[in-house]
């Protein structure tokens, strides 16, 4: 204690401007104190990151080596195993400063501060511990509902007609989410075909960090945050369990390896990336971790500038490790397991299994390093199995390597597939890639075995060149049973302006091996498109070129009327070659209820025509209401609000604002996307009109997948009532609560009421209270709707109910 007291006495002699992290940097210490201080017993408080472990006696050498002599007082709120671990580490000795090699238990830095006699141990878990993995609590009364996506496609020609219908339903019932998916397709004509199948029908529950699924599902798709193997489009009736981050409260990920900075009094840390300031942080005195929760995801280099008194006093380089999609680096394992019986719910000409074997499968993803994700997945039945391994490695912020090997075995054949890809981002918006794909199939016949093997090597380069020019080059070498040889594609596009109108020039060429050793496919084309108006709503394009030594030319026109029009585009064109002339037309629409597109082509050779189209629509049901919206605007919607808007002002422009988006509402029925899981407050405001208020002004929602909630809002043009209220006997009412159709207020002690009311409102209501009866007050008719404030000398009221019982 005497030595600690002596230390405190000498504090004024210590220079606080110097770095206090290393003992050798403790300048300003008198020589006699230096001899007394080092290699002596010093009483310190030991902290692990921000948590106190114990008080201890330590010995400190002048070169920064520190040794634990004994512990004095343990912190009772910390784990005993943790205290034991770090006391053993300190007994072996550590060095003040950054840990460079042989760092025990993730130790990154050791700091000793003389001014408060505190020893801090910083580890790799410092910041990940700050991002606590707490989970959202879902209420028991989560809204139910149904969201159904419907898509239809059809093609019709002289010889055949093809059609397809796809429906996907997401619902919420009893705090579980349900999913059902249906597909039907067919063809009429010479090759008649028809098939309908139900490939998803299950219920799922989101838990804290995981989910449970029961029912009929396809293991290859929608498996949480893990890539899982299955048997292609084959379906299974059974159960699935997997890890999930859906209910994590804090979705802000932190750097898997923390970045430490040393602050001084009144200093700021600026974080720069590629010459752009992306974050600032006020620093406390001493070493501390940079707050990386708000930094972008990925693995990239940063520059940290320490600003003191407006001047840059220090600059250091660091790297952020925030793996994409890994919200909690502490949970390095991700799992998915499923089991069940193969079942196919198909009618028509679809493939039916002769047996229904029991099958199991699953997948594991492991964050081996912030730059490397390793995966293993597999699926098996009695007669077939599949195993897949993969690695996704971030070599640098601009370089990524992906490798995958798949081994599949059935009763009659063995498949081996290798896929290795390298991606690189090029500054300025370009990219490059290299790949190698290899497939080997061993087929077991009766007393015979055959092997088919194919390899493809390739690369792609995309560059942005000067003068608004882009270049795309694609090259491949194929060595397969169907194609063999070198192939290449090249395309150059240039944007220009002529008299205020946009122009687009494109030159492309290709040359690739023919199918089954036939002659090579090759061609070249030159195209120009010109905007006929500066608004780019009318575009004329022409193209000429050659395919297989046969020349062709085409002319097309396209009209895009704008966002406020139901027609998205309308166009037509003609294409001429020596063998045929094709006349075509196309259109696309985007209505509030359905979106779609269609086309028609007529060939003069053979005098044949072909027509086709697509329709997309979303049906939403919930709260006893049904609404429809076009599929283009709501494709990814998993929960929704049905909002009915009533307005007495056509210029109100009601807006709904929440976390998901800001949506403009029309008078009548609307659909607004809602955020999943988290509580959200949707604000309703009127951006147009004069003195318009929206009621209710907001609504709080918390939704799960498939939830639909119904809300009715009204946009009311208002004015302010200023006047006196009198009862049947002519007495002035005072200190009474009064409400209108849009607000409420209290009459002041002098009998004057100031209250907002809708312009179409005809009455005010006085609340029954303190033994006084409820009353109705009629507003005078013939008021000027354009006046914002209306003054009334007298407003007559009459009793409407019994006196309130005391």
Residues 6+ apart with CB under 8 A from 88: none
State pTM to two decimals: 0.74
- Residue 630 tokens, joined: 């076009």
DSSP state at residue 100: -
DSSP state at residue 703: B
- CA–CA separation, 659 vs 672, rounded Å? 11
CA atoms in the 13 A half-sphere facing the CB of 231: 25
Beta bridge pairs of residue 180: 169, 201
Phi, psi (degrees; rounded to nearest 5) at 194: -155, 135
- CA–CA separation, 707 vs 623, rounded Å? 10
CA-closest candidate to residue 118, choices 32, 213, 48: 48
Residues 6+ apart with CB under 8 A from 580: 603, 604, 605
- CA–CA separation, 264 vs 244, rounded Å? 41
Contact 179, 205 (CB under 8 A): no
- Residue 679 tokens, joined: 């509580």
CA-closest candidate to residue 172, choices 621, 700, 616: 621
- CA–CA separation, 630 vs 770, rounded Å? 55
Residues 6+ apart with CB under 8 A from 26: 14, 18, 20, 114
Residues of the chain under the 50 pLDDT cut: 1-25, 804-806
- CA–CA separation, 634 vs 682, rounded Å? 18
Sign of CA pseudo-dihedral 790, 795, 800, 805: positive
Residues 6+ apart with CB under 8 A from 184: 164, 165, 166, 195, 196, 197
CA-closest candidate to residue 1, choices 38, 41, 58: 41
Residue 52 CB coordination number (10 Å): 16
Contact 620, 671 (CB under 8 A): yes
Residue 524 CB coordination number (10 Å): 14
- CA–CA separation, 643 vs 684, rounded Å? 10
List strand residue ranges (DSSP E) for 412-520, in order: 413-426, 430-444, 449-465, 469-479, 484-498, 501-512
Q: What's the helix, strand, coil split of the chain in %, to 5?
A: 5, 60, 35
Q: What is the three-class DSSP state of 277? A: strand
Q: What is the pLDDT of residue 36?
A: 66
Q: What is the pLDDT of residue 24?
A: 41
Burial class (CB in 10 A: 0-12, 13-18, 19+), 802: exposed
Q: Could you tell me the CA-to-CA distances from 493 to 410, 471, 472, 490, 796 in Å, in that order?
A: 48, 7, 9, 10, 77
Q: What's 507-532 look like in SS3?
A: EEEEEECCHHHCCCEEEEEEEEEEEC
Q: What is the pLDDT of residue 446?
A: 65
How many degrees, rounded to 5, is the angle at CA 269 between CA 265 and CA 272? 165
Q: What is the pLDDT of residue 29?
A: 63
Q: What is the three-class DSSP state of 4? A: helix
How many degrees, rounded to 5, is the angle at CA 570 between CA 566 and CA 572? 170
Q: Could you tell me the CA-to-CA distances from 471 to 258, 426, 453 in Å, in that order?
A: 40, 13, 33
Say if strands 469-479 and 449-465 run parallel, antiparallel, or are unpaired. antiparallel
Contact 705, 172 (CB under 8 A): yes
Phi, psi (degrees; rounded to nearest 5) at 88: -65, -35
CA-closest candidate to residue 166, choices 611, 616, 629, 613: 616
Residue 457 CB coordination number (10 Å): 15
CA atoms in the 13 A half-sphere facing the CB of 421: 12
- Residue 515 tokens, joined: 């199918």
How many degrees, rounded to 5, is the angle at CA 413 between CA 408 and CA 419? 40
List strand residue ranges (DSSP E) for 668-726, in order: 668-673, 680-686, 692-695, 698-701, 708-726
- 264-291: string of b/e by CB count within 10 Å (b at 16+)? beebebbbebeeeeebebebeebbbbbb
- CA–CA separation, 489 vs 491, rounded Å? 7
């Amino acid at each position: 204690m005497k030595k600690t007291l002596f230390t405190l006495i000498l504090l004024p002699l210590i220079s606080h401007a110097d770095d206090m992290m290393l003992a050798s940097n403790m300048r300003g210490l008198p020589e006699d104190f230096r001899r007394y201080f080092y290699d002596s017993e010093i009483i310190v408080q030991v902290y692990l990151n921000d948590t106190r472990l114990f008080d201890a006696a330590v010995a400190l050498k002048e070169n920064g080596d520190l040794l634990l002599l004994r512990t004095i007082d343990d912190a009772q709120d910390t784990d005993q195993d943790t205290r034991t671990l770090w006391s053993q580490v300190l007994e072996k000795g550590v060095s003040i400063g950054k840990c460079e090699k042989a760092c025990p238990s993730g130790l990154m830095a050791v700091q000793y501060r003389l001014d408060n006699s505190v020893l801090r141990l910083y580890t790799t878990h410092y910041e990940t511990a700050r991002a606590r993995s707490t989970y959202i609590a879902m209420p028991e009364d989560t809204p139910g509902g149904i969201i159904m996506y419907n898509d239809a496609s059809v093609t019709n020609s002289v010889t055949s007609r093809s059609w397809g219908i796809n429906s996907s339903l997401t619902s919420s019932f009893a705090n579980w989410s349900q999913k059902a998916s249906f597909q039907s397709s067919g063809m009429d004509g010479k090759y008649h075909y028809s098939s309908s199948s139900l490939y998803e029908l299950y219920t799922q529950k989101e838990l804290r960090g995981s989910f449970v699924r029961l029912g009929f599902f396809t293991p290859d798709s929608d498996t949480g945050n893990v890539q899982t193997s299955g048997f292609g489009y084959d379906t299974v009736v059974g159960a699935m369990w997997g890890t999930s981050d859906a209910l994590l409260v804090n979705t802000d990920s932190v750097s898997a390896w923390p970045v430490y900075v040393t602050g001084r009094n009144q200093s700021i840390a600026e974080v720069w990336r590629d010459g752009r300031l992306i974050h600032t942080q006020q620093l406390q005195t001493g070493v501390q971790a940079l707050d990386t929760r708000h930094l972008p995801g990925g693995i990239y280099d940063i520059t940290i500038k320490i600003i003191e008194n407006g001047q840059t006093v220090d600059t250091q380089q660091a790297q952020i490790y925030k793996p994409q999609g890994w919200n909690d680096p502490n949970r390095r394992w991700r799992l998915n397991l499923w089991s069940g019986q193969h079942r196919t719910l198909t009618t028509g000409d679809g493939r039916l299994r002769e047996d229904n074997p029991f099958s199991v499968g699953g997948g594991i993803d492991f964050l081996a390093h912030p730059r490397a994700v390793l995966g293993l997945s597999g699926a098996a039945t009695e007669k077939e199995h599949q195993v897949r391994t993969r690695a996704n490695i971030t070599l640098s912020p601009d370089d990524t390597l992906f490798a995958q090997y798949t081994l599949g075995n059935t009763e009659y054949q063995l498949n081996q597939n290798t896929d290795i890809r390298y991606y690189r981002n090029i500054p300025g918006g370009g990219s490059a890639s290299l790949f190698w794909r290899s497939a080997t199939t061993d087929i077991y016949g009766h007393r015979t075995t055959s092997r088919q093997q194919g390899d493809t090597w390739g690369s792609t380069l995309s560059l942005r060149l000067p003068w608004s020019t882009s270049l795309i080059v694609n090259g491949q070498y194929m060595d397969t049973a169907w194609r063999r040889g070198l192939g290449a594609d090249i395309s150059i596009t240039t944007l220009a302006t002529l008299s205020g109108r946009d122009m687009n020039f494109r030159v492309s060429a290709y040359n690739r091996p023919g199918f089954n050793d036939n002659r090579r496919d090759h061609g070249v084309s030159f195209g120009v498109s010109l905007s006929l108006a500066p608004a780019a709503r009318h575009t004329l394009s022409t193209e000429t070129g050659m395919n297989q030594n046969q020349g062709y030319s085409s002319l097309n026109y396209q009209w895009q009327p704008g966002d406020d029009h139901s027609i998205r585009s309308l166009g037509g064109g003609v294409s001429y070659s020596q063998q045929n002339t094709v006349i075509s037309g196309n259109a696309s629409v985007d209505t509030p209820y359905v979106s779609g597109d269609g086309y028609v082509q007529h060939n003069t050779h053979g005098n044949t025509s072909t027509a086709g189209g697509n329709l997309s629509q979303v049906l939403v049901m919930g709260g006893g209401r049904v609404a429809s919206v076009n599929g283009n605007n709501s494709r990814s919607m998993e929960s929704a609000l049905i909002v009915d808007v009533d307005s007495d002002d056509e210029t109100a422009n009601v807006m709904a604002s929440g976390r998901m988006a800001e949506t403009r509402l029309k008078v009548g029925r609307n659909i607004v996307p809602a955020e999943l899981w988290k509580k959200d407050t949707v604000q309703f405001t009127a951006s147009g009109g004069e003195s318009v208020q929206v009621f209710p002004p907001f609504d709080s929602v918390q939704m799960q997948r498939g939830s639909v909630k119904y809300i009715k809002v009204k946009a009311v043009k208002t004015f302010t009532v200023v006047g006196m209220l009198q009862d049947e006997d002519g007495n002035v009412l005072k200190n009474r609560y009064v409400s209108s159709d849009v607000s409420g207020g209290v009459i002041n002690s002098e009998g004057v009421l100031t209250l907002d009311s809708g312009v179409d409102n005809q009455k005010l209501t006085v609340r029954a209270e303190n033994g006084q009866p409820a009353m109705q007050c009629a507003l005078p008719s013939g008021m000027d709707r354009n006046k914002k404030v209306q003054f009334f000398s007298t407003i007559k009221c009459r009793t409407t109910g019994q006196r309130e019982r005391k």
